[in-house]
Amino acid sequence: AIRAAELAGLPRSIGMVEAAGIRLAQGTAADAGLALVTGAVGVSLFDVTTAYATLARRGEFIETTLFADERAGAAPEPTRAMSEATANAIFDMLSDRHRAPLVHGGPSQIGGLGFMWKTGTSSGHADAWAVGTNRRFAVGVWAGHFGGAGDPAFTGSGIAEPILAEIFARLAP
């Protein structure tokens, strides 16, 4: 990821991240440099889930809403955040074609449209997350203590990924 961002250039990489729906605080991306693409910048789970929805739509961004009735009138027109080829390549790299998501007790087989996901663990194990999509739904999972206390059990793959896999297993047709 760092090499790809280096080749594309930091301004272009930041532009793609923001176009996909991730809101970066003023100056944080420039301060993080290329580490931006490895998660060195704090972002909201909502924004990351929106970016995964953009990947699911093959690179087309639509402003995310939490409730179906939040949009008045016609559906918004999508905007191109990245090329379809780029979105498909990222989807493939993070897909279940290369590995099986974990549920408590072992691998999960999630059928249907394909599934891609990524996990993360914050510094000091203060929290863990997993976000994924099956091209129909984009879901984000957060686990942690609201007060920010660390816990070695809080890893994205150990805590959040099994919850995410269970959600998608239940969503599968």
In angstroms, the CA 83 to CA 37 distance is: 18
Q: Which residue has the higher pLDDT, 82 or 40?
A: 82
**List of long-range contacts for 147-150, beta carbons under 8 Å, 24+ apart:** 150/124, 150/125, 150/126
**In percent, how much of the chain has pLDDT > 70?**
91
Residue 154 · residue 126 · CB < 8 Å: yes
Higher pLDDT, 162 or 26: 162
pLDDT in tens, 82-121: 999 999 999 999 988 777 777 766 666 665 567 899 998 8
* Strand-pair partners of 107: 102
